[in-house]
Amino acid sequence: MFQFIPIMNRVFHHHILRSLVAFFPHIRFQSHGLLSKAFSRIPTRHQPHRHHNYNDNDNGNGDPKNQKPWNEAFGSRFQLHKSRGQHLLTNPRILDSIVRRANIYPDDTVLEIGPGTGNLTVRLLQYASKVIAVEIDHRMVDSLLGRVSQLGLADRLTVIKENALMTKLPPFDLCVANIPYGISSPLIAKLLFETRPPCFRTATLLLQKEFARRLLAMPGDSDYNRLAVNVGLVANVEFLMDVSKKDFVPSPKVDSTLVKIRPRDEVPVVDLDEWQAFIRTCFSKRNKTLGAIFKQKKKIAELLERLKKKKEKEEEEEDDDDDDCENGEAEVGGDGLEVGLFKERVIGILKSGGLEEKRPSKLSNEELLHLLQLFNKEGIVFH
């Protein structure tokens, strides 16, 4: 009977092996020098689970456009901190799409904030003349420099080891970045308002989805807010695509959205510091009417105090001090305005523009600009 075992039907042999593996997963069974194909299809406790993005490895040679992305999970060899917004994009299709949608010209200098280990950087280097990467984590910097050197692209990469919010950014044509969620708002403000007018053509940014919704909001939307108002004054924001949280390592709690920010060619003539202070006042209670907002005692007192300081400054510049101020209190244009009278004056301005019953969350930038001009015409300033 035993002499028939070597010539057993192969299919029956595989069924036996499958049964044995099911009961003894820690033992590897082999027959006639061939591992059963059935065994390879049965997971064991010693077979590590692999994320679907981890199978794409970059060998560091050849054209990066044709390479698979860097193995972030196993190749970086250091811990990524979610608390610092260190979520590395690993999906090659999404990375390629970001570069394509950025519309990079061959002579462009591209700014990248938070390059990580270079998944996006190596792609940008294939299309741009130069890439400037700003990264604060020295571990990321070492990994990025090593990777780019292996690819022979180090001569076109400049790395700034600084906090992007604290350092002065060099001139650049485009900004393309998967920026840490925690610095999204101040970074966009830095890009758009630190240098006026902005020196760049567009900023293609991967943002937290909820934040991007607020950035894209229009008057009347439930998400309309100060951020959208301030950015909308100086730039246009375009939705490009959503990106799943599964495309990152480690996976964040929320999905992301890719947007493109284009600075406007023409911006209204307005003091941006005062504009932002004015918008901060209006949106302190964005769903209340402007009349209700400006009737608050605190708001009236702040505006009145600012008006007094403005008058003091004007008198000092004219060298017209008449020493009529006692205990540090300045005279207000000779009117002796009381808080109650000043409040009536403010409400009168709102009524003259037909805006007393309007809510700031429903107003366009043109309407808000008009209101600010009405206040300034009456000598009332916000900064």
> 3-class SS at 307?
helix
Residue with tokens 């990994």: 143
Count CA within 13 A, CB hemisphere, residue 167: 14
- Answer yes or no: is 87 a known binding residue: yes
Q: Provide DSSP, 185-196.
A: HHHHHHHHHSSS
Residues constituting the chain: 383
- Produce one character per residue of 17-50: b if its CB has 16 or more CB atoms within 10 Å, e if not: bbeebeeeeeeeeeeeeeebebbeeeeeeeeeee
The span from the CA of 314 to the CA of 311, in Å, is 5
The span from the CA of 12 to the CA of 18, in Å, is 10
Question: How far are the Cα atoms of 33, 44, 156, 238 from residue 27, in angstroms, in the given order?
Answer: 16, 10, 53, 57
Residue 181 contacts residue 85 (beta carbons within 8 Å): yes
Question: How far are the Cα atoms of 60, 178, 239, 379 from residue 115, in angstroms, in the given order?
Answer: 17, 7, 22, 48
- Answer yes or no: is 316 a known binding residue: no
- Answer yes or no: is 89 a known binding residue: yes
Residues belonging to the binding site for S-adenosyl-L-methionine are 87, 89, 114, 135, 178
- Residue numbering of the annotated binding site: 87, 89, 114, 135, 178
